[in-house]
Structure 1
């Protein structure tokens, strides 16, 4: 056992436990979500004691200077002293400005922050409601808007997403933290071929990245692939078809797992199949040839989809700095842990 201290209370950590694991096991009400150091909802503050490498990985210089760390990435050391973080230290006030239902399960939210926040599509923010419950959501618009837009899917057994979808009212006061992440467009990529692949509401991020590129005057080709379970979940289908008509260098392809209404929706812009497989068939590469391609990939969506795609692209010769990813790592809502 390794003994550390949290808000003055001693905590005995078992071998291979993180600080977060030990706190949760002993019943401390610590916010967390992804457990991978991405969402930043489990931040605590370092007071004394040795910090193992990696505890502050991915944090901004300001957060590091103020001694914050991710409890899910911190391995306890003997005598380590930590304290919980007050919401007002890391979050700023905001309110829900508008809600627009994009489908039976997806809602678009506009968040108005109390102060100016520089943000880009492909980053994410943390939302904190009145009772302290906190979740991460990806941003779907760039800084050209005064609002932060989010596409939120109502998830089965999801406390926060159900609240946002069914109960949160216009004008609702919330707190926000961030933004985080770098799965974004940069004007340095202006001549690259952008291949954007999103599954589910990962579409919101790649759609926003495409808009950022087009608004910035992107000169290269832009290809966007959206994967959904059925035609009804292609919730931006008409909007993306209109974008194709407006911008000559933008191409959109929808991919569905199944078509519940037979073949009537299957056409050149709606195919059955995995969006990653369809994209790779249209943008082939050969790992035996040195990569001098201008292709730049963006993958957004469920963790298994993103990690598999990132690995495949990298192993076939594309440098990692040309593969941008945003993985939707959710809090585990199962009543029993997976074996």
Structure 2
């Protein structure tokens, strides 16, 4: 059976063991959120040996070359020595500069990183709390224009990171893990095409950044944004969206609650088969949006979606 080593600790594991499970069973508390290779919170670095990797494309070629792997996607077949991701050594420092509630359950954090980060609207960052809890969150800020990193946290349910975030105060230090891209982005080639943005809950966060990026790049086609919330109080960007719609005639904003969804989805009619759609939210919401768009005739390669998985 293969041997697994972390620092001075070495033990035997069953061949084919999941690396994340093997590490956590041994008491290392490697953070994770999705177990699907999407959140990137479970990064480890292989120092000797190589595990069987089910998602080699999930990380960049440079990361792979340096030995980084997503432990949830790896199986231990041979002897392996790994180092855990250390946010103090491998991450980036950041200071909390704003902490406020946008609605009864949506907490906004604004962070000032210790060095400038180059990112695109719609990308994600892994945030590390002071007590070592890591969770991925979408950036809601506008790159190259806003000198802070903004995140919208759904705090409706208890969760290790949200519970810690509630107690944060301006001036507190956090660490930033890996910056990564998801499916959501804005392509300048879409400038003349109809753009649909469909968000549920804090799935609005990356689309808020993408919407403003599209407008900054003078998107000419019509833009339709739908925001589904649990109730009227949770349309946490309603006033800001109304201001944008007032300034940009091509932007149409619809604020929905659960009872509005059937009628709103039934009314979806594509203005053009060239329409681009971006959807973000819970798995059920994204599936609901996607199904209706496909029935309306949207080609599958013109839908880009990110799914938010609840964090414990």
TM-score for the superposition, normalised by structure 2: 0.89
Instruction: Tell me if structure 2 keeps the 8 A contact 1:128–1:175.
Output: yes
Structure in which a larger fraction of residues adopt helix: 2
> Over residues 221-264 of structure 1, what are the superposed CA-to-partner deviations in whole Å (9 max), with x where a residue is unaligned?
11100001111111122221222111011000111125xxxxxx
Q: How many angstroms does 1:5 deviate by?
A: 0.6
The runs of 4+ residues in structure 1 deviating greater than 6 Å are: none
Which of residues 328, 334, 338 is equivalent to 2:308? 328
Structure 2: which 5+ residue stretches go unaligned?
A: none
Matched, 1:255 2:243: no
Q: How many angstroms does 1:196 deviate by?
A: 0.6
Equivalent-residue separation in structure 2 for 1:239 and 1:125 (angstroms): 24
Matched, 1:81 2:81: yes
Equivalent-residue separation in structure 2 for 1:119 and 1:279 (angstroms): 33
Which residue in 1 is equivalent to 2:206?
A: 205
Matched residue SS, 1:273: helix
Equivalent-residue separation in structure 2 for 1:308 and 1:79 (angstroms): 45
Matched residue SS, 2:82: strand
TM-score for the superposition, normalised by structure 1: 0.83
Which of residues 249, 269, 275 is equivalent to 1:283? 269
Instruction: Tell me if structure 2 keeps the 8 A contact 1:299–1:306.
Output: yes
Matched residue SS, 2:56: coil
Instruction: Tell me if structure 1 keeps the 8 A contact 2:273–2:299.
Output: no
> Over residues 283-324 of structure 1, what are the superposed CA-to-partner deviations in whole Å (9 max), with x where a residue is unaligned?
359xxxxxx821111111112322454466568764444221
Instruction: Tell me if structure 1 keeps the 8 A contact 2:198–2:289.
Output: no
Please, what is the CA RMSD of the aligned residues? 2.4
Matched residue SS, 1:164: helix
Which residue in 1 is equivalent to 2:226?
A: 225
Which residue in 2 is equivalent to 1:267?
A: none
Equivalent-residue separation in structure 1 for 2:114 and 2:87 (angstroms): 15
Structure 1: which 5+ residue stretches go unaligned?
A: 259-271, 286-291, 334-339
Which residue in 1 is equivalent to 2:261?
A: 273
Matched residue SS, 1:62: helix
Matched residue SS, 1:176: strand
Which residue in 1 is equivalent to 2:195?
A: 194
